Amino acid sequence: MKNREEPFALRINIFSDSKDDSAVMRWVNAWKDRWQQAELSTSMKHYANCRISIAYRVVSRENDAEQFKRLLKQTEMDIMFFSDFVDLKGSRFEPVIGELYIGNDYRRFPVLEKACCKKSGGGQDYKRERILSNQRFQLGSAYAEVMARLNNRHANSQERHVVISYSDFHPWVKIVNEAHAHSSWVVCIDPSVDEQLLLMGNNKGQVKREIVGFGSGVGAHGENNFTVSTEHFSMLDISKKISSYTAALFAPIEKEKTDAIAESLGRETLHIAGLSVVKATGPIKFVREFIANALVRKLLPRESGVFCDEIFSLDAFIHWFDDPYNNRRPDLLRIKSSIVNGYFNIEAQLVECKLAQQSEGYLQEAREQIENGLKQLVWKFKPRLGEGPIGIYDPPNQRYWWMQLHRLIASKGETNMAQYNDTLLALERLSEGCFNISWQAAIAAIWTDLDSDECASRADWEYSYEGQSLDVCVVQIGKEFLQKACLEKQSGEIFVSEKRIKFEFTPPAEIPGNDADCEGIAVKIALVGEPDQDNFSPVISSGDDKEMVVEPENEKPKIPERIMLGRAINTNRDIYWEFGHKDLPNRHLLIFGASGTGKTYTVQSIIFELAKCKQNSLIVDYTNGFITNQLEMIVKEALKPKQHIVRREPLPINPFRQQCDVIEDFELPEDPATTAQRVSGVFSEIYQLGDQQKSALYTAIRDGVNESGDKFNMAALMQRLDVISDSGGPIAASAASVMTKIQPFVDTKPFGMEDPQSWERIFSDDNSRCHIIQLAGFMKEFARLITEFALIDLYRYYRAQGDKNRPKVVVLDEIQNLDHRLESPLGQFLTEGRKFGISLVLATQTLSNLGKDERDRLFQASHKLFFKPADTEIRSYAGILADATGEKSDEWVTRLASLKRGECYSLGFALNDRSGTLEPNKWFKIKINDIENRVES
């Protein structure tokens, strides 16, 4: 495209089952930014020839996704992407019988879900599983054991459990079929997707589909698989090319024979994972590569009776190599794995293929590729070894590579119900480096000028690694052998030497100097009291007979004990948010539901109840949902809410103030670089700044704070950006584009003179029990910026001054529009808020734009209310409730759909009046009490 001068058009259709457009707008802003940068950069002038148009379609998956399928039928596309689309349907506890060694001697990076292999039979063809639990987290594992035993009190005390989630591809089959029918190429990126799912229709004769690309272990943490598939591309095109090539190679030869050779080679490539079939339609060198790879697959037939025997094209795994764009890597990796005595034995074989005229130069090049592959991969895929300090003889991200190997084997392996538990145990051990692996390597050279039907292999040279060595075999193949292998099934040997590089993991009992902790962390669970009593509690032991006992805190009298929510329908039981109970993990309440279902009224009811207990509330209103004329009359009269209209009264905060941590009564202020990183991060999240733009903004803030300290402000920021822009340096153009973006926001002057005590005055005001930061009149982006900076300042203040026994209630509506990253103020409030007394009341219509870790943080809220959701969200919310309650998702779909305005399902901790303890995940269908009925007599 860079050399193309004539205009061209790019049309993008975005389909989503959510009405929330924030994620889409991030993409749109990124594209807009790219085109703006192109105007200032000669190296990107080719963008001027492109006309881009974007359409956003909200689709429904109701009625078997008929609307979505109808849209796909009406839209012809070149390529369609499905990303993170297969829904999780539920989870369960699965016992693992056998030793799991979880030592303290390897780095914790990364924390990942783990794929589980396909189960054959029993209607499991479309089902895929993931292992959610991680045995390295002692507390999390102990909690899982407690929950497993609560779920099944007859569980074997010697068993450990893993938490397994399962997904079902079946609801997507017809949608994916329509996508293939109306798109040239379909790309699926999801942890649960594999080739077998996409080819299921072929086996049933429904479709004729080709997988032209596959890879695993991709994504920020190696969590995804990807497939590239099509029904509009035929292997016939490649067969014709191969037939034409072999006709020239073996001339004179009958066309029937060349077609048979092409068909035979084409069949073999279906069993090489990740091989880019499309490349073979290109220049002749890719056709030769295709033929060579296919012949190697013929010479290495799949072995039956093993867990996995697959050949992978390393072109699909370039992220394994230090320089992915350097072609000095082998072509193929064969992985043959079997389970022996509960552990994986893995045979790894690297093969470099050449199809050309005889030349020592080709063999030397192949030798470099093989040695480079061994040098990089043997080191990365070593198992757990007992000797030596970590990070010296192993990669610092060793567990990342174990997980890459785990996903590769799990995605290609298959088990049955009888062997399922043994397989699960072996996979868990594999993820912790408990496996054995051996390495071999070979070069397969097919010489087109060698008139021979021989396949002659020899051990050509020795490769050494850490005191071990293997023989690299070189097999030289005549062109006549290629013909006989395809037409007469002639076989040949590639690996003629048994000399290998081997690594065996060190069993726990054999690790030197580790006798005292040979089993890692043993977590023991005991139930205090009789199993049939309501008042039992788990006691967790670390394996050294020292029990961890958590003493109850003394309740502070000023904390409201409980907040009335409503009355259970059919039972008339009063349902409460147990706000002040000492065992409540946090004081966060999450409210789900579509617009008009009663969320805002519920928020007013809650702050009314809090005010009765002399507990103030702060509402940050960037949605205009809490302007005075929207509030209930009784709330206005009783709480006397005070509106802080920012357009009229700028917020008394300074976004550039250097925050302080207070440790042992000592204040430790952050440095200018940290301040600059934080503030530039907020702007970048809202405006989707590019790397160069963020760098220019970061530099201006850092230098300004360093020079002016807390006197630095927005006007001074613009002056510094102007100076950078005029300097003509490498980021001058980026500084200018940043100014263009943020100038309108700065012109609104949303921040005034700083008042460090303004937050405390809000929460200690006896006259107005509710204060509202009112952002009416601001554009959506501006309101988000002000909200983020206000939350950062609030977090800064109460991190230093807060007290868990003096709660501060903060209300935020439409939270799907805010920054949910862990380092964001909302992320910090959710994870650490209780320590500083922060209590959040959060409301949202959708969660579809949030990542899994962001949703998980939200779900940490101790209490949740589910009002009737939008049609596009109902299955998502039903899944959440099904996971929490153990009931079927379809039943929750029916329940949620039947809710009336003001009705909701309450899910959270409920007080057992008999024992005085809190019981988790109790759910009730309730009607929110009218505010008029809440007035004290």
- Rg of the chain over Cα atoms, rounded to whole angstroms, equals 32
Alpha helices in 278-387 (DSSP H): 284-299, 360-380
Comparing CA positions, the residue from 511, 549, 209 lying closest to residue 388 is 511
Do the beta carbons of residue 232 and residue 154 sit within 8 Å? no
Comparing CA positions, the residue from 880, 772, 791 lying closest to residue 833 is 791
Comparing CA positions, the residue from 92, 81, 170 lying closest to residue 130 is 92
Amino acid at 721: L
Comparing CA positions, the residue from 120, 155, 160 lying closest to residue 144 is 160
Query: DSSP letters along 682-697, please?
Result: HHHHHHT--HHHHHHH
| 187-209 pLDDT tens trace | 999 888 888 888 877 665 556 78
Do the beta carbons of residue 222 and residue 215 sit within 8 Å? no
Residue 704 CB burial class (10 angstroms; 0-12, 13-18, ≥19): buried
Do the beta carbons of residue 828 and residue 798 sit within 8 Å? no
Which neighbouring-strand residues pair with 811? 619, 841
C-alpha dist (Å) from residue 59 to 15, 18, 171: 6, 8, 15
Residue 360: partners with Cβ closer than 8 Å, 6 or more residues away: none
Query: DSSP letters along 425-466, please?
Result: HHHHHHHTT-EEEEEEEEEEEEETT-----EEEEEEEEEEET
Helix, strand, or coil here: 178?
Answer: helix
Task: Using the Cα atoms of residue 823, residue 827, residue 831 and residue 832 in order, give the sign of their dihedral.
Answer: positive
Q: Which long-range contacts (CB under 8 A, 24 or more apart) does 914-922 make?
A: 914/534, 915/534, 915/535, 916/535, 917/534, 917/535, 917/537, 917/583, 918/578, 918/581, 918/583, 918/584, 921/884, 921/885
CA dist 518 and 623 (Å) reads: 57
Rounded (10°) angle between helices 479-487 and 235-249: 130
CA dist 857 and 836 (Å) reads: 17
CA dist 855 and 878 (Å) reads: 15
pLDDT at 41 (0 to 100):
67
Residues of the chain with pLDDT under 50: 509-557, 937
Query: DSSP letters along 767-803, please?
Result: S-SEEEEE-TTS-HHHHHHHHHHHHHHHHHHHHHH--
Peptide bond into 655 cis (omega under 30): no
pLDDT at 111 (0 to 100):
59
Task: Using the Cα atoms of residue 449, residue 455, residue 458 and residue 461 in order, give the sign of their dihedral.
Answer: positive
pLDDT at 43 (0 to 100):
66
Query: DSSP letters along 688-746, please?
Result: T--HHHHHHHHHHHHHHHHHHGGG--HHHHHHHHHHHHHHTSTTHHHHHHHHHHHHHHH
Residue 352: partners with Cβ closer than 8 Å, 6 or more residues away: 330, 331, 332, 366, 369, 370, 373, 442, 443, 444
HEC-encoded secondary structure of 213-251: EEEEEECCCCCEEEEEEECCCCHHHHHHHHHHHHHHHCC
Residue 115: partners with Cβ closer than 8 Å, 6 or more residues away: 128, 129, 130, 131, 191, 225, 406, 407, 410, 411
C-alpha dist (Å) from residue 377 to 160, 169, 318, 322, 404: 33, 33, 12, 10, 11
Do the beta carbons of residue 575 and residue 924 sit within 8 Å? yes
Amino acid at 935: V
Joined together, the tokens standing for residue 822 give 């862990």
pTM: 0.53
C-alpha dist (Å) from residue 572 to 565, 568, 925, 929, 933: 12, 5, 10, 12, 15
CA dist 73 and 395 (Å) reads: 49
CA dist 827 and 831 (Å) reads: 6
pLDDT at 525 (0 to 100):
39
| 782-800 pLDDT tens trace | 999 999 999 998 988 887 7
pLDDT at 576 (0 to 100):
95
Joined together, the tokens standing for residue 749 give 């002057």
For the stretch 890-921, what's the b/e string if a residue is b when 16 or more beta carbons lie within 10 angstroms of its beta carbon? Answer: eebbebbeebeebbbbbbbbbbeeeeebbeee
CA dist 175 and 85 (Å) reads: 11
Query: DSSP letters along 630-677, please?
Result: GS-HHHHHHH--EEEETTTS-BS--TTPPPEEEETTEEEEPPHHHHHH
Residue keyed to tokens 């040997």: 493
C-alpha dist (Å) from residue 414 to 278, 304, 560, 628, 745: 28, 12, 55, 62, 56
Residue 730 CB burial class (10 angstroms; 0-12, 13-18, ≥19): exposed
Helix, strand, or coil here: 569?
Answer: coil
Angle at 842 between CA 796 and CA 633, to 5 degrees: 110
Which neighbouring-strand residues pair with 662? 667
CA dist 782 and 824 (Å) reads: 17
Residue 427 CB burial class (10 angstroms; 0-12, 13-18, ≥19): buried
